[in-house]
Amino acid sequence: MIIDKAEVIVTSPDRNFVTLRLTTDDGVVGIGDATLNGRELAVVAYLKEHVAPLLLGADASRIEDMWQFLYRGAYWRRGPVTMAAIAAVDMALWDIKGKAAGMPVYQLLGGASRDGLMAYGHASGKELPEIFDSIRAHQEKGFKSIRVQTGVPGLKAIYGIASQAADTGDASVRYDHEPARRGAKPTQEDWDTRAYLRHIPTVFEAVRNEFGPELPLLHDGHHRMTPLQAAKLATSLEPYDLFWLEDCTPAENQEALRLVRQHSTTPLAIGEIFNTVWDYKQIIQEQLIDYVRSAVTHTGGISHMKKLMDFAALYQIKSGFHGPTDVSPVGMAAAMHLGLAIHNFGIQEYMQHGERTNQVFRQTFTWGDGYLHPGDEPGLGVTLDVDEAGKYPYEQAYLPFNRLADGTVHDW
């Protein structure tokens, strides 16, 4: 079980993905996701130049030791690039351990705590009829929980509104494979918090009236509000009984959430841009959130996320792992194995990859009746088809950004 090959594979079937592929001297192959949307090549360089040389000759079975070596040994800690690179190594080593043991990774993590993972999909539309159609289309696809993002009168383009039809052949289900749009420069969108705060409750009222009280509904504020604005939104959405309100503030200022908490009982989900358990320390200990939003890919891999979720469990905080299309099928599989094993699973985001991506990454997970399951293949259950990956070279792509009416840059 000595690592004798470490390759970094970049492919862009529907969007850019970075995959680390490790091979041991006895021929076991493990893969890990290192995709950092819009900054992919920084992680490629980190892995190729600084990590791969350290992996060659190392014992693939010592997952925890490798994690500590890469984290502490670098001296420079945390941050999305470092933690995505460590996550990829960690995932690949769990994949190898599972294959060597002949077991799916969730078995190595303690076995299944449930039969399947409730997953939510992304409904969106500029106006109500489009939103209703999108919700219905998701229900027909089996989704039992749905995130709702809406256009705002007066704003031309905002986060979360699907801009391209999915290549699933079903034009009524629209997915945005690319918030990171291919091109030499990021696209500019516009924002007005007061218009948003006025409009959102009217949309959730209409959705509740149309779909009834049962359907779990989620919404993503995408870091755009001040604590006071977030408190106002969380309060105004209370009558519509949200499953969660996500990223209501830019949560690097952790104590800001106290204000939101004091005003509202709307559940809060935070953390897709966090990288370590330390980013969550205060908001978990003070019980300022209800769901951990991290992606396995961006938070140090399965080993670190397991610790984070065990810490969260002490405070009755559950998982709501990040699962947009910029987490590759390998990162999604890692989230599914971890989610199946931990007791404090909450919900899994499932945005669904496009056909080309599914050809590059052969997967064994199952999806039906609102639930995901990672499958029972040894390891993570994902195989990278290198020939297929080679058909889609990297293309520069950036996330969009916001400017206010007066030209000020605002959180996207």
Site residues (vs ligand GCO, CB under 6 A): 37, 179, 220, 222, 272, 324, 326, 349, 399
Residue nearer to ligand GCO on the CB measure, 344 or 352: 352
191-220 mask for Mg ion (x: CB under 5 A)? -----------------------------x
- Residue 324 binds: one of ligand GCO, Mg ion, none (C-beta under 5 to 8 A by kind): ligand GCO
How far apart CA 245 and CA 268 sit, in angstroms, is 5
The residue nearest Mg ion at its CB is 220
How far apart CA 93 and CA 105 sit, in angstroms, is 10
- Residue 290 binds: one of Mg ion, ligand GCO, none (C-beta under 5 to 8 A by kind): none
Smallest separation, CB 247 to ligand GCO (Å): 7
- DSSP assignment letter at 25: T
Judging by DSSP bridges, how do beta strands 291-292 and 268-270 pair with one another? Answer: parallel
Q: How many CB atoms lie within 10 A of CB 367?
A: 17
List the interface residues with Mg ion, window 252-281 (CB under 5 A).
272
- Residue 179 binds: one of ligand GCO, Mg ion, none (C-beta under 5 to 8 A by kind): ligand GCO
Catalytic residue, chosen from 71, 106, 120, 159, is 159
Report the run of H or E that residue 404 belongs to, with start and end. Answer: none
Residue nearer to ligand GCO on the CB measure, 106 or 321: 321
How far apart CA 231 and CA 225 sit, in angstroms, is 9
- Residue 370 binds: one of Mg ion, ligand GCO, none (C-beta under 5 to 8 A by kind): none
Smallest separation, CB 43 to ligand GCO (Å): 13
Distances from the Cα of 308 to the Cαs of 96, 277, 279, 285, 372, in angstroms? 23, 5, 10, 12, 22
Catalytic residue, chosen from 122, 222, 304, 322, is 222
Smallest separation, CB 200 to Mg ion (Å): 15
Residue nearer to ligand GCO on the CB measure, 39 or 62: 39
Residue nearer to ligand GCO on the CB measure, 104 or 121: 121
- 106 among known catalytic residues: no
Smallest separation, CB 207 to Mg ion (Å): 19
- Residue 37 binds: one of ligand GCO, Mg ion, none (C-beta under 5 to 8 A by kind): ligand GCO
Angle between helices 227-236 and 193-211 (to 10 degrees): 20
Smallest separation, CB 192 to ligand GCO (Å): 19
Residue 353, phi then psi, degrees to nearest 5? -80, 160
Residue 274, phi then psi, degrees to nearest 5? -80, 155
Residue nearer to ligand GCO on the CB measure, 279 or 349: 349
- Residue 130 binds: one of ligand GCO, Mg ion, none (C-beta under 5 to 8 A by kind): none
Contact of 40 with 394, CB cutoff 8 Å? yes
Smallest separation, CB 260 to ligand GCO (Å): 18
Q: What is the 3-state secondary structure (H, E, C) of 165-217?
A: CCCCCCCCCCCCCCCCEECCCCCEEECCHHHHHHHHHHHHHHHHHHHCCCCCE
Smallest separation, CB 7 to ligand GCO (Å): 24
How far apart CA 305 and CA 347 sit, in angstroms, is 15
Distances from the Cα of 345 to the Cαs of 116, 241, 356, in angstroms? 10, 20, 30
Residue nearer to ligand GCO on the CB measure, 276 or 328: 328
- 222 among known catalytic residues: yes
- Residue 116 binds: one of ligand GCO, Mg ion, none (C-beta under 5 to 8 A by kind): none
Contact of 349 with 120, CB cutoff 8 Å? yes
Identity of residue 6:
A
Residue nearer to ligand GCO on the CB measure, 192 or 247: 247
Q: Which residues contact 38 (CB under 8 A, 6 or more apart)?
A: 180, 186, 397, 398, 399
Q: Please give the residue ranges that form the binding site for Mg ion (CB under 5 A).
A: 220, 272
Which residues carry out catalysis?
Answer: 159, 222
